[in-house]
Structures are given as structure tokens and as C-alpha cells.
Chains A and B, each alone.
Chain A
Amino acid sequence: MSSLGAPPTEFLSIGRNLARLAAEKPTAPALTVAEHTLTFGELHARSNRMARGLKQQGVKLGDFVTIALPNSLDFIVAEFACWKLGATPQPVSWRLPAHEINAIIALANAPLVIGDSTTLKAERPVVSPDALVALSSDASDLPDAIALSWKAPTSGGSTGRPKLIVAGNPGVVARGASEGALWRYSGSDTVLMTGPLYHNAPFGLSATALHTGAHVVLMVKFDAEETLRLIERHRATWLYLVPTMMSRIWRLPNREQYDVSSLKTIWHMAAPCPPWLKEEWIRWVGGETLLELYGGTEGQTITIIDGNEWLAHKGSVGKPLALGEMKAFSADGKMLGPGETGEIYLRRDPSLPPSYRYVGAEARTLPGGWESLGDIGWFDAEGYLYLADRRTDMILVGGANVYPAEIEAALDEHPLVASSAVIGLPHDELGNQIHAIVQPRPGLDLDDLRQHLAARLVSYKQPRTFELVTENVRDDAGKVRRTALRDERMKK
């Protein structure tokens, strides 16, 4: 019926959707980690029990619940348990230093943290998944509830203080419109998730895959050869990668020993992919299999490009989806035309509800609702976006966003650090490595400084290299000119 508008979207709560899947295919595998598998029936029953456990511990509709677990069956069970109470899962790294996790819990006002209570110390109760499940033997369905937001990942942020990025989407699955179609998976797919669930894309993509009824295989930790082994073993059809992983897999000497012919879709995102590497992958797996996405956790809009399109627009990250706009702007705020390089700003169609809200920060928005992810680039005449560089106040390390201000704040907290600047230097596998330029006071000991940082920063945020200088690294206005500092080091 072309003359009629689109059919109404059908929404059902994530909890009811899992109940539907558990009824339709109770014994089908939902989730596999190493040698352990949960069927849809088991995932539903265990998350019902854990939801009751959370309820007994005071979790209620509308709460954020911090999840600080490594990739595991119970990370996913905990997500569903939260959704079933109408609460919002708030994932963080399980290795966060107490300092950082406490700052996040305070923002989230989480009644508790789901984590390993023997290793994790925090200012709110830390309760292990097993302890929560043990609180209730009742695995029956709970009254239906819908979380106002389905996820609230964190970001270090350019201010150096953590913030929550609370998704605008509620805890529902949209049927009919079928989000699965966008990501190219359905109930018959086997999804291999290589990334950590506390990062936005692995969290979202693994959950959305489960909502469609796909089988999700989680890796506890990425390993190049293990990835190929798991693809072969599970006949995986769908794979998530970041360029660092692509590079490590590409460099494996015995890559061809594994049968990866089951793969129909491979997504890569989170960081720019070197064109030579992308080309090799397209040759290996085929242009229609390799998809790239560019966008932020805030989800205002995204660009998508498949391998064949990319070959015709080499180096592009794709065209923006119709629900928003992206444009290049000059430094003086003028919108630039095709071929002109500037900072990339994006905005969501103003008639749509916002895709996110921050807790703990204000969105930096220009008039007209334009926001920047800090990237520099240009558009060709057909509207394809090409990224030139990142504005240097964010460092991409193996697909993770690291904000220099956060590292500098931790450095400057040490009594013997007079001033500091943190920049990213090129790194073959990780894309960038973190380099700290420090003006010490007399008596600074680097081992002691490393210990100090380890107490404050998760490991991927800790500097790999240190450089001691005698002058203040900030100018008279207290600003640090990271671009200049980086350019000087690159020349050397």
C-alpha cells in the first residue's frame, strides 16, 4: 500500500521479548562464553531470578545499575535483569580504579554495583551475580516494565571528569521496523563479539543481536587466532572488529588455516582503518561482507559504508543516514562545500526526540543543534564523508576513546608534578599510544608516579611513555597546546 504511511512500529519491552524467544525456542543457544552456553530458556529464567535478587537489594523502576564485570554470561544476564525491572544497565570496566568507579556511581546514583565483591571496592554495595541469583529461586515472569533508557555507558570526556551518556531509546524492542535489518542479523545468525561489553558498540550490538534471537558468542578477551578458531568452531556469520583487531588478525602467519567462509557480515568501527588494511580485508572476505560505521556513542546519526561502495569511494566512511545531518565547518563557523576540509559537525533531525542525554556534563552544542565528535574531514560531491584526522584533544587507543584532560588531571594530582600534557603518538597496532610530557618538581620518582596513576586510571588510559621537561608545558593562559607538542614530537 504505497499511498499509506509506514505501518505503526510495534514495541515490546525487552523482558517480554526475551519471554517470547524463550517460549519460541527454549533450547536454542542464546549465549556462549568459552565452554559455557545459556539457552534462551536459561537466559530468561536466570535473568528473572537475578531481577528478583536486584529488587530485594533495592533496585527499582528508573534506577541506573552499574555493571562492572568482564565479558561473561552473567554480564548479559545482569543486563536483562536490569531491563526486567525497568532499570538501566550502566556498564563500566571491571578494572576501574576505585577513584573512577566511585565518581561514576555517584553520577548514576546506582543503588548497587554488580561485580566481583572480593576484588572490587566501591562506595556502594558490590554484589556478585551468583549472590543476586541466590536471593530468589523464583524464575517465573515479573510484571512487565520498561526502562526509560536502555543503556548508559560512560565517557571520560574532554573535561577530564566522567559522564554518563544516557540513551534516548527506552528498553523496548521495535518489531516491524526491525533494527536487526540495519545491523544485518536475525534469529538464524551466530554473532561473534570480540570487544568488551563495557564499550558502547559491543554492548549495544550484542544485546540487539540477542533481541532478534541470534546466538551470541562472547570472547572474554580479544585474541587474533582465537577469533578465527571461534568463527570456524561456531560457524559464525557475523563479526565485530576494530581496526587494531583487523591488523592483528591480518598479520597472523597461519590466517589461511581457518575456515571463515561462514562469515556474511563483518562490522568495523570505533577508529579509522588504514586504507591498505581495509583493502586487504575486502580482498579476503569480499566487499559485500565488510561494513564500516562512523558515529559517536551519543548516536545523533551515523554513516555506514559497505566494502563495494568503499572501493568506489576509497577512504570514505560513508554517507550519513537520513535521520540526521553531518556537515564540515570552518574554524570561523562557516559551513563548507564539497571538497573543503573542516571540523565535522552533526545533528539529529530536530523533529526527532534527542538520541541521548548526559549526566555529569553539558552537551557542547552550537546554534542550530550542531555538535562535534572532534573529527576533521570533508565531503565529496556525492555526499560521502572522508575523515582526515582527529582534533588532538582525544586519543584513540585500540578503538577506545582516551581524553588527555582526564590523564592530565590524574598526573597533576601528584604533588611532585608541576604541569603536564598528554598526547597520542602513532602506534602500529593500537593506532595511538599515550605519551605524557611532565614538568616534575624535585624528587619525582617515575615508579611512584605510575603507582599513583594506576590507582586512578583504568589500564588502557595509563601513559605508555613519559617525557620529563624543565619548562611549564602550559602557556600563560594555562592552556596546553597539544597539537604543537605533538607536531614537534612527530618531526623528531
Chain B
Amino acid sequence: MAEPGTLENPISIAAALARVAAAKSDAPAVTCEDKTVTWRDLHRRSNRMARGMAANGVKFGDFVTIALPNSIAFIEACYAVWKLGAVPQPVSSRLPLAELNAIVELAKTPIVVSDVPFACERPVVSSQALLAAGKDDSDLPDVVAPSWKAPTSGGSTGRPKLIVSGQPGLVDGLNAQFWRIAKDDTMLMPGPMYHNGPFITAFGGLQIGARLVLMTRFDAETTLRETERHRASWIYLVPTMMGRIWRLPEEVRAKYDVSSLKTVWHLAAPCPAWLKEEWIKWLGAEVIWELYGGTEGLASTTISGSEWLKHRGSVGKVAIGGIMKAFGPDGNELPIGQTGEIYMKRAQGLPASYRYVGASPRVINGDWESIGDIGWFDEDGYLYLADRRTDMILVGGANVYPAEIEAALEEHPLVASSAVIGLPDEDLGNRVHAIIQPRPGLDLEELQRHLGERLVIYKRPRSFELVDENVRDDAGKVRRTALRDERIAKLKAGT
């Protein structure tokens, strides 16, 4: 007999919010710093905002660009968009104008929702103006958006594209279950909501009635303080955040009660093994969960802390729905244990998980697609990632993977963040160059000794560059292509 859950009917995202609002009306839904909105108000205000958007020309099936920082208004705006059967298209609130205009042109959005006025090729409307334009806050006719999100890519190709989800604006219980979110959970979100990971997890929880606490920007100690203050049971992190929290002085970290945490997810970038191990020791193996996958949602792997201890360094096994394989440069599938580019596709009969607007997928052999990662599988089917293909450095014929060097650098207590790139070298083709954000007191000779203990000689950086700022962005990603291009331009200019 089949699983009985197959007869559970999904409902629209709007109807799901209405159900939670009826059940938990006065309970807090979203908290951001000192502001909280109840479920009833979230539902009613997003009804009003939806009417405001409709008055500004938003209709069924439109993409609506939302350029708001983490805030209650961001959440309300997304719900307003869904309530019209439209598709939220979130972007950074600090995007350079040229990039924003390129995205807006792809999305053909009727309006850009932003609380900071600026000149744009489309009307820019604030969340307050949308609320004011909505004439009433009663429920709208129910509708299902044909896609539930259209984020932009991290931008590794240089030109922006939209990644339009193949999933419609529907809710069932299983999405939240996948992320280990129950309706009584309090989620803490230090990541930017316009990024895919924060977006899908935070809304996945809100859709079943879990409470969301948003941070406007990540800060290590504030994360611990907010965890204690709200008794957060679930948190989203990226490895950079884990590193900064871990490096807080022992007495600061110990000051806060984080025993409420039942699930910690980390995504978005490879996590150094030593750091992961420390977190497992600190919070427990059953609490720490990792996911690897692209915004495209073709396939993903997940791994619990306990599994990871048995398969150190792995990002997990492929979750149901997707297939992943390692391929050699000749396009042949590689056997177990051999390193190659990781290609993914949907399991047989599953719908397309996404479509691009503004780009074409990298496809081989018909329907295998790559998101540019290099790795291998063990005999139990666990995937181990070596690096991103696009950032591989060829040094005198040897392949050097920046992630490995960065992991070694960041293991040093006085390295705050780092990025490793290849710079042109007449002799070797490329040389390894390290960009480092130091903590006070970092000594380069001592660092080189530290690396000498960890890396074979050809992998050690030939040059070091010290910078004041974090070399990773808010989402914990390092944009090596951009960093490399800047350095090469300077070299050419002779500076």
C-alpha cells in the first residue's frame, strides 16, 4: 500500500498564511530587531499591500523585483506578490544601479519595491506607499502563482540571470519537514533574505506557522544574543558565520545560552573540516546539518553531523529527486573515488526544477548540468567536494584548488577571512596568490610556517596581500573571478 500522505492536498501560499493567521492570530510571526508583526497583521498588511501592488499594475504571472533589506516589509512584500499570483524576484537592496537595471530588464517587473528612492528604468515604490495605496485588508480571491520565486544568480558568469523556480506557489507540510522545521519552532535568520538559501528556508517555515527572527546584518555575538533572547530552535548559517562565532572569545561565547537550538543548517560554501568538528563538539552531531546544491534545485545532498563524523569531509548523499555523477574532462562518467566535475540532473519523470531568464544552462550529454564543482563519491555514495571548477588554478601542470588553501589559511587564529586566486606567472602559468584579512598581530613568517605544516610546496601561496575588509560577501561566498580580474587589471596598468 502506498504512503497515505499522497492524498494530502497542497494549498496556495496565501491560503496557508490565512490558515496560520486564523489559528495563531495574536502570536508573533516575524521579529526584526525591536519590531514584531503578529500573524493576523502579517496576513492583513500583506492583503493591503497586494491591493497596493495591483493598483500599481502588478498582475498574475508577473515577476516583481523586491529590493528591500532584511525587514518585516520584505516578508510582507513577498506575501503580497504571491497573493496576486505573481512571482517574487528578490535582489540585494544595495545593488549597483547598472546591475539592478539589467535584472529589472530581464524580469520586466512592473515596479521595483524599495524603501530607498533611486532613479531606475521602472517605477520605484516603497512598502509604505504600497500599503497606503491598498484600499482594504480583506482576503483577496485565492490564486496560485505559477512559480514561487525567481532569485538572481550569485553572478559567477558576470552577467545577471534569473533562476525561475519550477515549483508553483503551493504549500504542503513536506518542505518544512525537509528543513527540520516544525510549526512550534523559532527560526533565526542571520543571512540575507534575497539569497536563495535564506529565502527558501525562512518561507518554508513561515508557511507552516513557524516564527521567524530576522537579523538586519550578521554579527557573531548578536547571533548568540538573539538565539538566547528568542529561544531560537533553528538557525541558518554559512561557514564564514560559523568561523566568526567560533572565534569569539571563549568567555563571550559561553555567556549565552544556546541550548534551545535543535537544528543548525550550514549551506552556500564549503565548511573547513576543523570548524565543522568544533561545532559538532559544541552543539552535538544531531544538531548540525549541511546541504549542498545549487539555486537551480536540480539535485542536492544533505548530511547530519553524525553521518559526517563517519564520512569526514563529505557534503552528504544525494537526496531523493536528483541524480549527481562525477565526469572526466572527456565527458565520461568516472568510477567511485575518482575526482571530476560534478554534473546533476533531475530524477526520471520529475519536472524541470528551474528555468533561466537571461542565460543558458551548461549541459553535457543531453540533460546533465554542472554548477561548476569538482569532487568525488565514496563507495557509500557520499560526495566530497574538492573545489569549484571555474576557480581551479593550474600551477606548472598541477591542479590547485583555492578552497583547500583557504581552509589552511583560515585555520590560523589570526586570519579573519581569506581568498586564494591564481595570478599569471611566466614560468609556471599561474602562481598562487593569497588575499588575507588579518586580525591584529598576524605575522607573515609565522603564517608561512603554519602553511608549511599543512600544504605541499606547490600549493603554498607565492604572494600575500593584506586587506581591511572581509573578502567574502554577506552570504559567505568568495567571488574569486572578480578578485582575480581586479588584480590582473592592476598588473597590466603597472601599479
Contacts and interface: CB of A to CB of B under 8 A. Distances in A.
A7 B176 CA distance: 9
B489 interface: no
A464 to B, nearest CB: 36
Contacts of A10: 166-167, 321, 350-351, 353
Given A5-B177, A301-B7, 17 more contacts: A4-B180, A6-B5, A10-B166, A11-B168, A16-B351, A61-B143, A86-B144, A145-B61, A145-B146, A170-B12, A175-B351, A176-B350, A181-B2, A182-B7, A187-B349, A321-B4, A323-B4
A56 interface: no
Given A146-B144, A148-B144, A168-B9, A7 B351 contact: no
Contacts of A352: 8-9, 173
A458 interface: no
A323 to B, nearest CB: 5
Interface residues of A, number: 50
Interface in B1-31: 1-12, 15-16, 19
A312 interface: no
Given A1-B319, A145-B146, A169 B9 contact: yes
A13 B334 CA distance: 36
Interface string A287-303: 00000000000010110
Given A16-B351, A143-B146, A4 B168 contact: no
Contact of B1 (A20, A301, A304): A304
A7 B304 contact: no
B146 A8 contact: no
B8 A179 contact: no
Interface in B315-356: 316-317, 319-321, 349-351, 353
B166 A7 contact: no
A6 B174 contact: yes
B60 interface: yes
18 contacts: A1-B316, A1-B317, A4-B180, A4-B302, A6-B5, A7-B320, A11-B167, A143-B61, A176-B320, A179-B6, A301-B7, A304-B1, A321-B4, A323-B4, A352-B8, A353-B10, A353-B15, A355-B9
A187 B144 CA distance: 27
A230 interface: no
B249 interface: no
B175 interface: yes
B339 to A, nearest CB: 24
Given A5-B177, A10-B167, A170-B12, A321 B7 contact: yes
Contacts of B85: 61
A9 B10 contact: yes
Nearest to A3: B304
A134 B172 CA distance: 39
B178 interface: yes
Nearest to B204: A8
Given A3-B304, A4-B302, A61-B143, A148 B321 contact: no
Nearest to A15: B146
Contacts of B176: 5
A170 B146 CA distance: 12
User: Most chain-A Cβ atoms within 10 A of its Cβ — which of B7, B176, B319?
Assistant: B7
Contacts of A179: 6-7
B142 interface: yes
User: Most chain-A Cβ atoms within 10 A of its Cβ — which of B147, B168, B179?
Assistant: B168
Nearest to B306: A3
Contacts of A449: none
A355 B176 CA distance: 20
Contact of B168 (A3, A12, A61, A322): A12
Nearest to A6: B174
Interface of B: 1-12, 15-16, 19, 60-61, 85, 141-144, 146-147, 166-168, 170, 172-180, 286, 302, 304, 306-307, 316-317, 319-321, 349-351, 353
A62 interface: yes
A182 to B, nearest CB: 4
Contact of A181 (B3, B11, B168, B319): B3
A178 B8 CA distance: 12
A4 B350 contact: no
Given A175-B351, A177-B5, A355-B9, A9 B172 contact: yes
Nearest to B175: A8
Contacts of B168: 11-13, 144, 146, 172
A61 B60 contact: yes
Contacts of B3: 177, 181-182
Contacts of A86: 144
Contacts of A355: 7, 9
A122 interface: no
B146 to A, nearest CB: 4
A384 to B, nearest CB: 14
Contacts of B144: 86, 146, 148, 170, 172
Interface in A8-37: 8-13, 16-17, 20
B66 to A, nearest CB: 21
Contacts of A322: 4-5
B7 A299 contact: yes
A174 interface: yes
User: Most chain-A Cβ atoms within 10 A of its Cβ — which of B9, B143, B168?
Assistant: B9
B174 to A, nearest CB: 5
Contacts of A306: 1
A167 interface: yes
Nearest to A301: B7
Interface in A146-173: 146, 148, 167-170, 172
Contact of B6 (A3, A16, A182, A301): A182
Given A8-B178, A168-B11, A353 B19 contact: yes
Contact of B180 (A5, A145, A148, A353): A5
A352 B179 CA distance: 19
A174 B10 contact: yes
A12 B146 CA distance: 9
A179 B349 CA distance: 13
Nearest to B351: A12
Contact of B11 (A4, A170, A301): A170
Contacts of A11: 10, 167-168, 170
Interface in A199-256: none
Contacts of B179: 5
A352 B168 CA distance: 19
Contact of B321 (A7, A174, A321): A7
A62 B144 CA distance: 10
A20 B351 contact: yes
Contacts of B319: 1, 4, 7
B144 to A, nearest CB: 4
B7 A146 contact: no
Contact of B178 (A5, A174, A177, A178): A5
A119 B172 CA distance: 44
A400 B174 CA distance: 36
Interface in A25-64: 61-62
A148 B5 contact: no
Contacts of B7: 179, 182, 299, 301-302, 321, 323, 355
Contacts of A7: 174, 178, 319-321
Contacts of B316: 1
A4 B290 CA distance: 11
A187 B4 CA distance: 21
A217 B177 CA distance: 39
B178 A148 contact: no
Nearest to A179: B6
A292 to B, nearest CB: 12
Given A1-B317, A181-B6, A182-B6, A6 B143 contact: no
B11 A353 contact: yes
B289 to A, nearest CB: 8
**7 A-B pairs with least C-beta separation:** A5-B177, A321-B4, A181-B2, A182-B2, A169-B9, A12-B351, A146-B144
A146 B144 CA distance: 6
Nearest to A320: B4
